[in-house]
Chains A and B, each alone.
Chain A
Amino acid sequence: MSAQRAQLSRRGFLGGSLLFVAGAAIGCSTNPTGGSSSGAKTTLNVWSHAYGEAGTQQALNRYAAAFTKANPDIAVKVTWVPGDYTAKLNASLLTDAAPDVFEHGDFTQGLARRGQVAALDEQYGSTKADFTQSNLDRVTVDGKLYGVKMIDDVMMLYYRKSVLAKAGIAPPQTFDALVAAAKALTTKKSKGLFVGNDGIGDTHILQVFSNGGQLVADGKVGFATPQAVEAVTALKRLHDDKSLLLGFTTDWWDPAAFVQGVAPMQWCGLWAMPAIEKALGDDFGILPWPAFKAGGTPVMRVGGWTSCVNAKGKNVDAAKKFVQWLWIEQTEHQKDWSESYGFHVPPRKSAAASADKLTKGAARETVVLAAKYGAQNPNTWDSASGTPFAAAAAKIVAGQGDPARLLADAAGKAQSAVDKQLT
């Protein structure tokens, strides 16, 4: 086949190369994503992590288009980021291609102290009073507000009513009861409880809260107190009983294991409730993570995403305008975002009160319980504190080493990370 192939002449090669380079240059200079830059002066780059629920990406694009309609000189390009969002965001923030507006799942004081995010007090204005206090506290650093909470994500324990009733088990109200229930519901073919593929998930954090502790209180890391050690060590019982589902296809934040009946109890989030309702009808109930023992408190976790303005971006003013427009002013969009796809709780009280789907059934129950038992991570808590704690918990449940010692070591590392946040 190669007998006929002509040798590439030098001139031909040069010509070909030039054509290729020219083509590449043209290809690069035209923006492949296009955007809606119909005469807009600035284009805002907005980053969002890839939400799992169908329709979310389209919704965000719709809000962006509506914003451009209201502000014809500002176009908005939404970048939908799958995978490890935080790592990609952190890397991007170091470059010129950094987003102007981004959401953050773990807002920390360090972001503000290092000058990565801009203060938004002016944008809040008088609407500030309509936000729940915990969500204002979360983004407050040295008296200024550095972000707008977009949604509250409530996390709780789901259980299959029919499965528990058939086994004659009441929804567990204490940790002992949870351990017993998980064990009783474990069969040859299925496990009783799913908290995460690594068998830890959020449980180590929940145990600290449920035994009356805090992750960080007054700048001091609190997961190595005797109460915390006792509670985290107790997680080993779930592992020793082999009643935890491990190594499932999707992780705890996806309801697949619960919906498919692989585990009759799962720690998951309010966002998954529409999917669970669709699959199981009303054959499910929700619970807070039970109190560790008398004197402890049940826990629901409240996470969520915060919209931030990149203080080092090129379009800070336009970015502030976008955040103000969408996440402070547009309660209709906020409601749509909170209840039309996965369920979330809108941080604005007025929006939460009028979100119809959250005011009935299990969703309503969740909102009420979250108001009572909801615990947010402190804004001094980032992965530098979380990673050592999770590593220590993993060792403890595997029975490797002395729990008090492991937690004290991890707390030492977390403390230096917290101290760094505060300076």
Chain B
Amino acid sequence: MNATSHTVPRSERAGRPADTPRAPARPRRRADLRTWAVFALLTAPMLIGLGVFKYIAIGWSLLLSLSDAQGTIALGDWVGLDNYRQLFGDAVFRTSLVQILLFTLFIVPVTFAASLGLALLVHRIRRGRAVLRTAFLVPAAVSYVAAALVWKMSLFSGMPAGIANMIGGWFGMEFVPWLQTDTPPLYLIALVTLRLWLQVGFYMVLFLAGLQAIPKEVYEAAALDGATGLRLLRRITLPMLRNTSVAVLMLLFIAAFQAFDEFYNLFGSGLSGTGTAPVKTPMMYLYDTAMSAQNYGLGSAGAFVLTALIVGATLIQGRITGLGKSEE
């Protein structure tokens, strides 16, 4: 909003640096060429890198998904859509898609609400804001793997000495294997708390930045009109945070669909294969298929299905929330 209305004219000007009234036609064209050359020079490394390391690889993977590639990534043994047929014929993969959808539908709103709430709280306090902000952000610097190991071995270990079991013990609970208990699914507690702990701080910072960009005058004007509390939040803060919210939502969706690290590390044994994991995300299925069983054709097909799912979800979300549109 504020930012966009400033940047639009500025970028127009920046696009034509030699556009002065007195400049004759020829030098201007040369200047245009120069601008283009600079543009090409500066963006080329990025574009070439993207092309070589992303788009060629993606194209190759698409071709792989149409061929029988076992233990090799050479093309040639075309099998049409067989891999996709096998994939959707596999109940494990179908279940993994359902499970990741449910996980996403749960974790995204919860993370969103938690980070927004935290941002509002931290934004309001006067003293110690920097300390709190940093304290909440620090977990974002911890890797999923390291956190998963702490969760698995210390917090939610199945031993009486595990912290969750110790706390349960104070209330007379028997010690339980948190990650292995299916009925009720106690492992969900570990999964959800882990993801929240790692993510909330980061998105909180994004929201804080958004909050700080809201001009004070708007609030002052609203206060003069007698608006307070919840009304300020609903009518001013949330609408003004719209762009931030949309971006956060999109990032959350993608992160949830790609969930792998904590699932793999919480349920894996360190040996190949995660067959006994109580929940298996599509990424885990793909890891088992491609990295353990070396079936790269089937793995690529799965990767494309997952990509389609993410792109689809992002487009739908963009349509609903108006991603990338400025609202005025």
Partner-B contacts on A (CB < 8 A): 83-87, 90-91, 93-94, 110-111, 114, 116, 188-189, 196-200, 245-249, 251-253, 262, 382-384, 386-391, 393-394, 398-400, 409, 413, 417, 420
Beyond known contacts A247-B179, A247-B180: 5 more, CB 8 A cutoff: A84-B268, A87-B287, A387-B274, A387-B288, A394-B275
Assuming the contacts A87-B287, A248-B159, asked whether A384 and B180 have C-beta atoms less than 8 A apart, the reply is no
B160 & A189 in contact (Cβ 8 Å cutoff) = yes
Q: Mark B250-294, 1 if CB is under 8 A from A, else 0.
A: 000000000000000001111111111110100000011101111
Q: Please tell me if B143 contacts chain A, counting CB pairs below 8 Å.
A: no
A388 & B275 in contact (Cβ 8 Å cutoff) = yes
Interchain CB contact (< 8 A) of B158 among A114, A246, A384, A413: A246
Interface size class of B (residues with CB under 8 A): 35 or more
List residues of chain B with CB within 8 A of the CB of A398.
182-183, 278
List residues of chain B with CB within 8 A of the CB of A199.
177, 180, 276
Cα separation A417 to B292 with both chains bound (whole Å)? 13
List residues of chain A with CB within 8 A of the CB of B158.
197, 245-248
B174 & A94 in contact (Cβ 8 Å cutoff) = no
A198 & B267 in contact (Cβ 8 Å cutoff) = yes
Chain B residues 177-203 with CB under 8 Å of chain A are 177-180, 182-183
A386 & B275 in contact (Cβ 8 Å cutoff) = yes
Q: Please tell me if B61 contacts chain A, counting CB pairs below 8 Å.
A: no
Stretch touching chain A among B8-16, B31-39, B66-74 = B66-74
> Would you mind naming 16 contact pairs between A and B with Cβ atoms under 8 Å apart?
A85-B272, A91-B291, A114-B71, A199-B177, A247-B156, A247-B157, A247-B162, A249-B159, A382-B293, A383-B293, A387-B275, A389-B275, A391-B92, A391-B275, A398-B182, A409-B91
Q: Please tell me if B153 contacts chain A, counting CB pairs below 8 Å.
A: yes
A387 & B293 in contact (Cβ 8 Å cutoff) = yes
- Beta-carbon nearest neighbor of B288 in chain A: A387
A86 & B92 in contact (Cβ 8 Å cutoff) = no
Interchain CB contact (< 8 A) of A388 among B71, B92, B157: B92
Partner-A contacts on B (CB < 8 A): 70-73, 90-92, 152-153, 156-160, 162, 174, 177-180, 182-183, 267-278, 280, 287-289, 291-295
- Beta-carbon nearest neighbor of A197 in chain B: B269
Cα separation A416 to B168 with both chains bound (whole Å)? 46
Smallest CB–CB gap between A318 and chain B, Å?
Answer: 23
Assuming the contacts A246-B177, A249-B157, asked whether A393 and B276 have C-beta atoms less than 8 A apart, the reply is yes
Cα separation A387 to B286 with both chains bound (whole Å)? 12
Smallest CB–CB gap between B159 and chain A, Å?
Answer: 6
- Beta-carbon nearest neighbor of A262 in chain B: B159
Cα separation A263 to B162 with both chains bound (whole Å)? 16
Smallest CB–CB gap between A197 and chain B, Å?
Answer: 6
Cα separation A391 to B275 with both chains bound (whole Å)? 5
Cα separation A130 to B106 with both chains bound (whole Å)? 61
Cα separation A233 to B182 with both chains bound (whole Å)? 17
